[in-house]
Amino acid sequence: MTVNPLQGVLMVLLAAVCWGTTGTAQSFVPPSLPAYWVGALRLAVSALFFIALLAWRGPPRRPHLAWPPVLLAAVAMAAYNLAFFAGVRTSGVAVGTAVAVGSGPIWAGLLQALRGQRPAARWWAGTGLAVLGGVLMVGAGAGPSQQAPTVVGLLLCLSAGLSYAIYALVNQQLVVAADPAWATGAVFSLAALIALPAAWAIAGSVALTAQDVLIVSYMGVVATGVAYLLFSHALRHISAATGVTLALAEPVTAFVLAVLVVGERPGWWAAAGGLLVLGGLLLVVWAELRMRRRA
């Protein structure tokens, strides 16, 4: 396999564009559908997407998977979805999202360093700028009625960031050794099997309307299935820590969609945060390309 870091960067950025549509899509979900079920159902739809994709493609070229890492990645993905929505509910959207999204790249950098693959100083500088920009963008959208964060909520959001970082690092091992679609489909199928009963235990049963089905289907296919398939392919070309940091392009996409589609008018702090994110991501890409050239 030929490693092409620029291709990996572009794939993650395209995945981030798909992820960035999640907030806009979720704004059309009726309040009667609990957030826990939103997370669990989009995992279930994404699992069906991968099953259909694999059936259409036929048997994978490299079907052999190490199932313990698959299970670990699935648990991490299910934990990310449930912890994120629970943390946001108890800490507020602005603070909860900032902590969960901002902590992910830091967790990924630390975990990768523990594995003996310490990111360069430029990577940390770029990640710091991107995280700061993301916090500014999310914080700028907080209204005066923003609820006060709780300790439990903050811990849940930190756990969500850690879970996402673990998923990225473990998934990179899987997609290097096996077909990315097959590996990602196995992970998301198991994650759905974990998340669905967990959502039922937390939020009880749910009755879906046609609008619920339509929105969750979009989130499961485009904002989850297609996005994570791109992300998995990208991890064959770039480090997992860089992939997690580049995912911070998601709030930039959400910012643009909030202005163009939802009609929101964020302030200058949000715009400044977006510029910091873009500048930080450029530094991260530069650090990744330099590291790959030396390797």
Q: Which domain holds residue 177?
A: 5-294
State how far the Cα of 245 lies from the Cα of 238, in Å rounded to an integer: 11
**Percent helix, strand and coil across the chain, each rounded to 5?**
80, 0, 20
With 0-12 / 13-18 / 19 or more C-beta atoms within 10 angstroms meaning exposed / middle / buried, residue 107 is buried
Tell me the average pLDDT across 225-252.
90
At 140, the pLDDT band (50, 70, 90 cuts) reads: low
**Residue 126 to residue 242: CA distance in whole angstroms:** 10
pLDDT confidence tier of residue 111, bands split at 50, 70 and 90: very high
pLDDT at 145: 45
pLDDT at residue 147 is higher than 70: no
Q: Which amino acid is at 251?
A: P
* Whether 130 contacts 248, CB under 8 Å: yes
In angstroms and rounded to an integer, the radius of gyration of the C-alpha atoms of the chain is: 18
Highest mean pLDDT among 6-10, 49-53, 127-131: 49-53
Q: How many domains does the chain have?
A: 1
pLDDT above 60: residue 146: no
Token representation of residue 272 = 């400044």
Burial 185-206 (b: 16+ CB within 10 A, else e): bbbbbbbbebbbebbeeebeeb
* 3 state SS of 119: coil
Which of 201-205, 228-232, 268-272 is most confident?
228-232
Position 261 scores a pLDDT of: 64
Does pLDDT of 230 surpass 90?
yes
- CA-to-CA distance for 226 and 53, rounded, in angstroms? 10
Residue 268, Cβ density class (10 Å: 0-12 exposed, 13-18 middle, ≥19 buried): exposed
152 band by pLDDT with thresholds 50, 70 and 90: confident
Q: Which two tokens stand for residue 282?
A: 């450029």
C-alpha span between 268 and 45 (Å, rounded): 37
Q: What is the pLDDT of residue 170?
A: 95
| Residue-wise pLDDT tens digits, 201-214 | 988 888 888 888 89
Other beta carbons within 10 angstroms of residue 20's beta carbon come to 22
Residue 181 has pLDDT above 60, yes or no: yes
Closest CA to 131 of 81, 165, 176, 180: 165
pLDDT reading at 263 higher than 70: no
Is residue 142 predicted with pLDDT exceeding 60?
Answer: no
Min mean pLDDT across 13-22, 254-263, 275-284 is at 254-263
Write out pLDDT tens, residues 81-110: 888 877 877 776 667 777 888 889 999 999
Q: Give the residue from 15, 44, 18, 20 showing the smallest Cα distance to 212.
A: 44
pLDDT top residue among 74 and 142: 74
* pLDDT at position 222 over 90: yes
**What is the rounded CA–CA span in Å between residue 186 and residue 181?**
8
Would you say residue 255 has pLDDT above 90? Answer: no
pLDDT at residue 197, as a whole number: 94
pTM for this entry: 0.86
pLDDT surpassing 90 at residue 273: no
Place of tokens 């939020």: 203
- Encoding tokens for residue 229? 């398939």
List, for residues 17-74, the tens digit of each pLDDT value: 888 777 667 767 777 788 788 889 999 999 999 999 998 987 666 557 788 999 999 9
